[in-house]
């Protein structure tokens, strides 16, 4: 089953996109739970906003149940045994950034100790891409994940909003770093008024289609240990565009610095379509 347009007629008049995304998140979590190593589990997270303008948040989170009991070794980054021959591909792009120690936050920690978040899969909604306030909230959440070393994948198949959350996330990271700003592959307006990528964009890059972005932050711990004001880091990026009528790509999902699994978006999408009686 290739990608359908869940946000425009005729499908949008017959089915609710949020019901489909809810089921899709469930199948993604179910697939991950069959392949995650001992001590990890994935669960879908669906949150309904108190106001219509804040929409619905749907994501999948992967947790580590006991970080002390499980020591990650390089062998865990080897190909997933359930997907023969798979290796994490070379990042599409890498940008440098500086992690600041100027953080103001309130943390509420339980004394019993619970699961630790290691990765998040965000399924973008129309509300996430609508107003500046919503976009900033979404990007800020993703930025927080990455600065804390949490793996991230953004899946955006929304066809009724043109904002590119991936681009806004990259600009957030590159904004405070001269090196990052210099390396950031930007989007420029075309003469026709639509936005087009520069020539140095990754092959197949386009702003007006659906896309998935995978992200892994790598922090130079040695600089942090020397009590420098900020620790140098880099953001590794896997980015692929596609459109309605095309298959969804497989991206690496990083859980920390060493453990990586292929995120089988197309397989979970096809299973969701079958369960929802969509297509053939």
- Separation CA 144–CA 210 (nearest Å): 24
Q: Please name the residues in contact with 84: beta carbons below 8 A apart, sequence gap of 6 or more.
A: none
Are 143 and 169 contacting, i.e. CB atoms less than 8 angstroms apart?
yes
Strand partners, 187: 197
pLDDT of residue 185: 52
Strand partners, 215: 152, 237
- Separation CA 233–CA 95 (nearest Å): 9
The candidate with the shortest Cα–Cα distance to 5, out of 207, 245, 265, 268, is 245
The gap from C-alpha 125 to its chain's centroid, in whole angstroms, comes to: 13
pLDDT of residue 258: 82
Give, as one character, the DSSP assignment of residue 265.
H
The gap from C-alpha 182 to its chain's centroid, in whole angstroms, comes to: 23
Query: Mean pLDDT of residues grouped by 10 in the chain (280 residues)?
Result: 92 90 92 91 76 54 64 43 79 79 40 76 91 92 92 94 93 63 41 39 57 90 48 87 95 89 96 88
pLDDT of residue 50: 44
The CB density around residue 164, as the number of other CB atoms within 10 Å, is 21
* 47 three-class SS: strand
- Separation CA 159–CA 79 (nearest Å): 33
Are 263 and 25 contacting, i.e. CB atoms less than 8 angstroms apart?
no
The ranges assigned to domains in the chain are 11-275
Give, as one character, the DSSP assignment of residue 247.
P
């Amino acid at each position: 089953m290739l990608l359908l347009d869940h946000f425009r007629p005729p499908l949008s008049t017959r089915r609710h996109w949020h019901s489909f995304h809810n089921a899709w998140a469930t199948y993604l979590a179910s697939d991950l739970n069959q392949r995650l190593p001992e001590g990890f589990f994935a669960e879908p997270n669906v949150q309904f906003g108190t106001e219509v303008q804040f929409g619905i948040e749907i994501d999948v989170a992967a947790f580590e149940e006991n970080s002390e009991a499980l020591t990650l070794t390089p062998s865990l980054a080897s190909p997933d045994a359930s997907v023969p021959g798979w290796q994490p591909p070379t990042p599409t792009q890498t940008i440098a950034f500086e992690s600041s120690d100027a953080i103001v936050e309130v943390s509420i920690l339980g004394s019993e100790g619970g699961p630790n978040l290691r990765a998040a899969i965000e399924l973008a909604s129309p509300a996430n891409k609508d107003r500046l306030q919503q976009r900033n909230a979404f990007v800020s959440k993703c930025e927080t994940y990455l600065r804390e070393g949490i793996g991230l994948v953004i899946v955006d198949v929304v066809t009724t909003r043109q904002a590119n959350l991936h681009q806004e996330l990259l600009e957030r990271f590159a904004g405070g770093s001269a090196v990052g700003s210099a390396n950031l592959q930007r989007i420029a307006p075309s003469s026709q008024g639509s936005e087009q990528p520069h020539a140095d964009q990754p092959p197949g890059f386009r702003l007006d289609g659906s896309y998935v972005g995978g992200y892994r932050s790598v922090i130079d711990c040695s600089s942090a240990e020397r009590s420098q004001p900020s620790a140098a880091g880099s953001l590794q990026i896997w980015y692929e565009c596609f459109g309605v009528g095309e298959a969804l790509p497989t991206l690496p999902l990083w859980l920390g610095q060493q453990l990586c699994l292929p995120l089988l978006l197309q397989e979970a999408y096809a299973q969701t379509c079958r369960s929802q009686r969509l297509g053939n």
